[in-house]
Chains A and B, each alone.
Chain A
Amino acid sequence: MRSKTFRGGVHPHDNKHYSNEKPIEEFPAPKRVVIHLSQHIGAPSKPIVAVGDFVKKGQKIAEANGFVSIPMHTPISGKVVKIGDFPHPIGTVQQAIEIENNGKNEWTDSIKDNEKFLQLSVDEMKNQIKNAGVCGMGGAGFPTIVKLSPPKEKPIDTAILNGVECEPFLTADHRLMLEKPDEIIAGLRIIMKILNAKSGIIGIELNKKDAIKIFKNKLKNSKNMKVVPLKLRYPQGAEKQLIFAATRRKVPAGGLPMDIGVVVQNVGTALAIYEAVRYNRPCIKRITTVTGEIVKSPKNLRVPIGTMISDMINYCDGTNKNIAKIISGGPMMGFAIPTSETPITKTTSGIVLFGEDDIIDTTEQVCLRCGRCVDACPMNLTPTFIVENVKNQNYEEAKKVNILDCMECGSCSFVCPSHIQLIQWIKLGKLEVGKLKKKE
């Protein structure tokens, strides 16, 4: 069978060899954690603890603030030390709750094992997922409960699990698929039951042949679930590109996948959903890859949310050379962050470290009009025109050339021979266009 894909995209070297053979390790409970109140898309959560309170592992410390929001839980037991501003892995400073570990590792009593979890009613399942604070673990962090509650006029027939992991360097999803395939399939079953979807698809990129093989074996006898191997190409794991490759359906501009009857969830989210429904366990840990050429022993770690990146680097035996750049997320879409004293959030899928030798000079040259960015853009946009408008502060024109449809995958910047920082300009332009909207 020919492998499926989409139009456009680029082929960066995947660099997954640093960590794709390393099994997932359980990260020991850190001395302190910092839980950000805004780890997801939507309204920041509201803290419900005060400084000085004692909290138990798994206890809710912040509640959802509206429908598009999620509650937060603490991954360690201890004392609330501070509620204030902390650096956020998207490169800003935001409000967070700091908790000091008391070393007792006490769980709250809400945890139970319900082996007949698939017989729960849809509402019970949704309630448990909502209370567990699950949000998309792939990177964007869309609250899962919102994705699982489509309006009645938009029936969902297909649920897709995203196991593509097209970002270079990252192997967290890959290892997860190798080590916990049954849990992921159970997660997909729960999603399909909630959405009343007829078919379930697991999309995996061809550089993870071992994972494809495992899932093909497991789903041999399944009638409504299948694996779709996808061609090696970035950004194959982007929601709209994945949907097109797997189902040949196109999400309308400015629309959501639920408009065409599809819901996409990351495999990590599927695991979190499974744990929430079966064990009633809140989302307090995630799998994160710490990698890069300069890391002494790159690892895939199951880390409590809120662990400091510096602690994780130390756990991986530090680095050979001086760190020149820390990137939270993958190198294509991730954020360079100013300090390693930054906690990870529910959406931090990887920490990539670069030494001074890996940084290339990216002084901007003039545009050659070669059109490579246009060829590479998976959304069929013309990045060079958009950027020209942003540079001239012509934001209304930028909006007309669909700047808001850009998903910031970075393919255009990757191919630009003039080193124009297209994606940075577009990000700036999107902010300004957003301001225009507010003015109206």
Chain B
Amino acid sequence: MISIAIIVLGCLGIIFGIGLAVASKKFHVKIDPKIEQIEKALPSVNCGACGFPGCAGFAEAIVHSDAEINLCAPGGEECVHEIAKIMGIKASTKERKIAVIQCQSGGINNTFLKFENTGIETCQAALILSGGQNLCKYGCLGYNDCVRVCPFDAFAIDKNNMRIVDENKCTGCGKCVDACPKDLIQLITISKKVNILCMSHDKGKMAKTSCGNETVCIGCGICAKKCPVSAINMEDNLAVIDYEECVVCGICADVCPTNAIIAKKIEEK
């Protein structure tokens, strides 16, 4: 009896084995080994900064649809070179960008409030309620939507409830830029680190009285006058830097009466 079972199962095994072998030959899908190699070179954080669905999607796009290879912000220069080597093309790197927060109020703890918000603690939800609880309608709401969305843990919160971007950890993927409902975060190239720490279009006195902080743009226009390359424009009571023109001289930061501009060159690691 046992021998019949062995023969039957053995035959079945052989038949299926042959079937699978034929199928695997016939329906073989050719995968470009480059895709796998590029995927390995990418940082695999799936942040979406390149505009493709994850690192795998980006790798496929490079190989099949000629996507630009320097789109990966977290990977940086190293990654671009590696991809260039795999693809056998010349690399043109972009300068690294980092996120800067253009408000120093720190949200709920530091600013003057219109009302006490007991609703859902996210910036998006706070925005629905009269545009947020802050007296300043331009300022940071302080519910940390940007912190939660960051895939690189680059945000820290100091004791004044202000969010600080760690320049070494930030890769410039831009997720926080999309997450901020008040549009307070901007990506700037790392060599041009001049930043205005306020986004208030209110007039001087109003801006000062509605913010709990001293570093407020009061729209005095001194920085615009003193800038040697006229890279600063006054737009509706707010100084706005044109980064194309800026030479990072630092004069604007020195003359600002409220210290609302910071300018420093940081060394690339």
Q: Mark B106-126, 1 if CB is under 8 A from A, else 0.
A: 000000001100111010110
Q: Tell me whether A424 and B125 are in contact (CB under 8 A).
A: yes
Name A329-388 residues within 8 Å CB distance of B.
336-339, 362
Judge if A15 is at the interface, Cβ distance under 8 Å. Answer: no
Judge if B131 is at the interface, Cβ distance under 8 Å. Answer: yes
Closest A-chain residue to B119, C-beta based? A424
Q: Chain A contacts of B133 at CB under 8 A?
A: 338
Q: Tell me whether A337 and B120 are in contact (CB under 8 A).
A: no
Closest B-chain residue to A91, C-beta based? B130
Q: Roughly how many angstroms separate A80 CA and B133 CA in the complex, as a whole number?
A: 30
Q: Chain A contacts of B115 at CB under 8 A?
A: 338-339
Q: Tell me whether A92 and B131 are in contact (CB under 8 A).
A: yes
Q: Tell me whether B119 and A339 are in contact (CB under 8 A).
A: no
Select one of B120, B129, B130, B137 contacting A425, CB under 8 A: B120
Given contacts A339-B114, A362-B118, contact A92 B124 (CB under 8 A): no
What distance in Å separates the Cβ of A299 from its nearest Cβ neighbour in chain B? 25
Q: Tell me whether A91 and B129 are in contact (CB under 8 A).
A: yes
Q: Chain B contacts of A92 at CB under 8 A?
A: 130-131
Judge if A428 is at the interface, Cβ distance under 8 Å. Answer: yes
Q: Chain A contacts of B119 at CB under 8 A?
A: 421, 424
Judge if B128 is at the interface, Cβ distance under 8 Å. Answer: yes
Q: Roughly how many angstroms separate A39 CA and B120 CA in the complex, as a whole number?
A: 26
Q: Tell me whether A431 and B114 are in contact (CB under 8 A).
A: no
Q: Tell me whether B130 and A431 are in contact (CB under 8 A).
A: no
Q: Mark B86-121, 1 if CB is under 8 A from A, else 0.
A: 000000000000000000000000000011001110
Q: Tell me whether A427 and B130 are in contact (CB under 8 A).
A: no
What distance in Å separates the Cβ of A357 from its nearest Cβ neighbour in chain B? 15
Q: Chain B contacts of A427 at CB under 8 A?
A: 128
Q: Roughly how many angstroms separate A432 CA and B125 CA in the complex, as a whole number?
A: 11
Q: Roughly how many angstroms separate A338 CA and B134 CA in the complex, as a whole number?
A: 11
What distance in Å separates the Cβ of A371 from its nearest Cβ neighbour in chain B? 22
Q: Tell me whether B130 and A428 are in contact (CB under 8 A).
A: no
Q: Roughly how many angstroms separate A129 CA and B119 CA in the complex, as a whole number?
A: 40
Judge if A306 is at the interface, Cβ distance under 8 Å. Answer: no
Judge if A93 is at the interface, Cβ distance under 8 Å. Answer: yes
Given contacts A421-B119, A421-B120, contact A428 B114 (CB under 8 A): no
Q: Tell me whether B124 and A428 are in contact (CB under 8 A).
A: yes
What distance in Å separates the Cβ of A438 from its nearest Cβ neighbour in chain B? 15
Q: Chain A contacts of B125 at CB under 8 A?
A: 424-425, 428
Q: Tell me whether B120 and A93 are in contact (CB under 8 A).
A: no
Q: Mark B127-162, 1 if CB is under 8 A from A, else 0.
A: 011110100010000000000000000000000000
Judge if A163 is at the interface, Cβ distance under 8 Å. Answer: no
Judge if A87 is at the interface, Cβ distance under 8 Å. Answer: yes
Q: How many residues of B contact A (CB 8 A)?
A: 14
Q: Roughly how many angstroms separate A428 CA and B143 CA in the complex, as a whole number?
A: 15
Q: Tell me whether B120 and A428 are in contact (CB under 8 A).
A: yes
Q: Roughly how many angstroms separate A93 CA and B119 CA in the complex, as a whole number?
A: 19
Q: Roughly how many angstroms separate A427 CA and B125 CA in the complex, as a whole number?
A: 9
Q: Mark A419-440, 1 if CB is under 8 A from B, else 0.
A: 0010011011001100000000
What distance in Å separates the Cβ of B177 from its nearest Cβ neighbour in chain A? 16
Given contacts A338-B114, A339-B114, A421-B119, contact A93 B131 (CB under 8 A): yes
Q: Tell me whether B120 and A424 are in contact (CB under 8 A).
A: yes
Q: Roughly how many angstroms separate A244 CA and B133 CA in the complex, as a whole number?
A: 40
Q: Tell me whether B118 and A431 are in contact (CB under 8 A).
A: no
Q: Roughly how many angstroms separate A176 CA and B89 CA in the complex, as a whole number?
A: 79
Name A84-142 residues within 8 Å CB distance of B.
87, 91-93
Q: Chain B contacts of A431 at CB under 8 A?
A: 124, 128
Q: Chain A contacts of B128 at CB under 8 A?
A: 91, 427-428, 431
Closest A-chain residue to B121, C-beta based? A364
Select one of A338, A421, A432 contacting B130, CB under 8 A: A338
Q: Chain A contacts of B122 at CB under 8 A?
A: 428
What distance in Å separates the Cβ of B33 from its nearest Cβ neighbour in chain A? 34
Q: Roughly how many angstroms separate A336 CA and B124 CA in the complex, as a whole number?
A: 17
Q: Tell me whether A87 and B120 are in contact (CB under 8 A).
A: no
Q: Chain B contacts of A87 at CB under 8 A?
A: 130
Q: Tell me whether A93 and B130 are in contact (CB under 8 A).
A: yes
Q: Roughly how many angstroms separate A432 CA and B131 CA in the complex, as a whole number?
A: 16
Q: Roughly how many angstroms separate A272 CA and B62 CA in the complex, as a whole number?
A: 65
Q: Tell me whether A337 and B124 are in contact (CB under 8 A).
A: no
Q: Chain A contacts of B124 at CB under 8 A?
A: 428, 431-432
Closest A-chain residue to B115, C-beta based? A338
What distance in Å separates the Cβ of A361 from its nearest Cβ neighbour in chain B? 9
Scoring A87, A337, A425, A428 by chain B CB atoms within 10 A of each residue's CB, the highest score goes to: A428
Q: A337-B130, A427-B128 are in contact. List 13 more A-B contacts (CB 8 A).
A: A92-B130, A338-B114, A339-B114, A362-B118, A421-B120, A424-B120, A424-B125, A425-B120, A428-B125, A428-B128, A431-B124, A431-B128, A432-B124
Report which B residues bind A (CB closer than 8 A). Answer: 114-115, 118-120, 122, 124-125, 128-131, 133, 137
Report which A residues bind B (CB closer than 8 A). Answer: 87, 91-93, 336-339, 362, 421, 424-425, 427-428, 431-432
Q: List 14 A-B contacts (CB under 8 A).
A: A87-B130, A91-B128, A91-B130, A93-B131, A336-B129, A337-B130, A338-B115, A338-B130, A338-B133, A362-B118, A424-B119, A428-B122, A428-B124, A428-B128
